[in-house]
Amino acid sequence: MGLTGSRGSSVPQDEPRNEVVIAGRYRLGKRLGRGGMGTVWQASDELLGRSVAVKELHVGEGKRAAGALREARTVAQIKHPHVVVVHDVVEDDGRPYIVMELVEGGSLADRLTADGPLDAGETARVGLALLGALGAAHERGVLHRDVKPANVLMEAGTGRVVLTDFGIARLAGSTTISDTGAFVGSPEYTSPERMQGADAGPASDLWSLGALLCAALTGESPFHRDSLGGVLHAVVHDEIRPPAQAGPLTPLVRGLLERDPGRRLGVAEARRMLSAYVTTGSLPLLGDAPGPHRPAAPAPVAPAPAGYTPTERATAHTGPAPKPRAGLRVGLVAALVLAAVIGSVAVTSFLSDRTDADAEGRPAAQGERTAPSPGAAATGPQSPVVSAPGAAATATATATVTAPAPPPQPGRAAPAGYRTVADPDGFALAVPLGFQRTTDDQRVFYVSADGAFRIGIKVRPASPGGPIAAMRRSDADGPSTNPGYRDHSVVPTTHDGLPAALWEFTWNGFTAAEGARHTYDLCWDENGRMYDVWVSAPVGRLAQARAHFDTALDSFVPGA
């Protein structure tokens, strides 16, 4: 329930308590709502002759009450048009109360229940307002910790969006579990790191905002499940798929729902994106400039040398200089009350560049591939290929073969900025405009013009143990095949309802100038085949990489 409640909402209304006067001036009226942290009353300020809302905090007495008052006074210092105005913080008969403006209008939750989901434009307007409110709170070191539709008020007549119920707010550094062992916040809107009981930071509120935007677009949190255990599992390691209703806001939602708080979009960058959308109707591309929770981008990457094939392998070869392989970073945190740590999973991927023998646990074949092997299918312009940096460049020969079967037809149009490709190897997916196709003897790649972004696809027969076993085998070989292999994780998940495994890791990258790279890799079994789709990019451009990854998975249509 929001701090200020709402007149005319569906919250049960109690009889007025006109006989109760708080601090000698606030006469309580009807009850507007009750939550775990307090009870909200409509009241009259008899000194100034105005209507207010009074929240009676349920924190007991003594030190806890004194601490609540100190925190409430800190919240009262937040001045922003989209933060509920706190008029007074008082103590009466040993119990703390917060006195604030009475906002006439229902909550966002009320509106979603009564009128259904918002469109992208209205959702963007709400999101922009909340970003301003959260930014003002974070500047004072205050975390909200319960950003959800019920705590967002929509003022009648003006449309003003107001973030309320800072009643469980804490200064940065607090955790999800209270002194009494109770869960603080709403699980469906709580970040993975807080589910672990880790220290909360501003990024945790940004995750909650991402979940709230999804709820505004669809009517419910993307992590809604029938049980608390199901919610925790969904938050911590289910595959995150932004709703189709997000449309042009999808990159923003993905950035906010990044499980690694260090990679999550910060207030400044999210605000820049939403401001542009509200003004122009389109979302700008994510830039390389870091937000508060994203690392700085590495030095600019020089264009790939002519003839270079970005297969991201680090195997020995006959050329003068070895080329490192790509890798993935850890992306999902282990759950608080769910399964113990989920082991590393290895998917056969372009990053591991593993042969079928390798997938069964035998060493990968050595030797750098310098051109598509004879018979490799090619469509559209071929990317030039050469051996590792320092090796002599060789021209790329374009080989033409007949596809084994007509490629499947994609199920829906590609989103803006992408095109749908029907690959000769018997699958279809959406890739960014300008990406070119290249292959080796096992995999297909779609690569950006500068070589920074690489989408890989590998299809092979299903292997023993399924996706999770395959990924764990690849993960186990990571240190030997990817220089600087680190921040790696493998977790079970699902893809279109099928068992799948997600592998992430970071490695040192191809060159010192480019810097470290990170990979997202998902594999799953379908119709007797194992499909492996991955995306890698420099660590400073992960928001775009994740957008490409999610789009590839959302649009992927396997062969018959």
Whose CA is closest to 49, among 21, 26, 29, 31?
26
> Cα(first)–Cα(last) distance of the chain, in Å?
51
Strands 38-45 and 50-57: antiparallel
Indicate the SS3 state at residue 541.
helix
CB 348 within 8 A of CB 458: yes
Among 146, 425, 475, 521, which one carries the catalytic annotation?
146
Whose CA is closest to 245, among 218, 222, 274?
218
At residue 535's C-alpha, the angle toward residues 200 and 255, to 5°, is 30
Strands 454-461 and 529-538: antiparallel
Write the CA distances from 123 to 10, 164, 216, 240, 551, integer angstroms.
22, 18, 6, 19, 21
CB 560 within 8 A of CB 434: no
DSSP 533: E
* Residue 146 appears among annotated catalytic residues: yes
CB 72 within 8 A of CB 53: no
AA identity, residue 526: E
Give dist(CA 41, CA 99) in Å, integer. Answer: 10
Letter string b/e over residues 130-169, b meaning 16 or more CB atoms within 10 A of that residue's CB:
bbbbbbbbbeeebbbbbbbbbbbbbbeeeeebbbbbbbbb
AA identity, residue 250: T
Give dist(CA 488, CA 506) in Å, integer. Answer: 7
* Long-range contacts (CB closer than 8 Å, 24 or more residues apart) made by 36-39: 36/182, 37/165, 37/167, 37/168, 38/98, 38/167
CB 484 within 8 A of CB 508: yes
CB 425 within 8 A of CB 405: no
Q: What does the CA dihedral 59, 64, 67, 69 come to, rounded to 10 degrees? A: 40
Catalytically active residues are 146
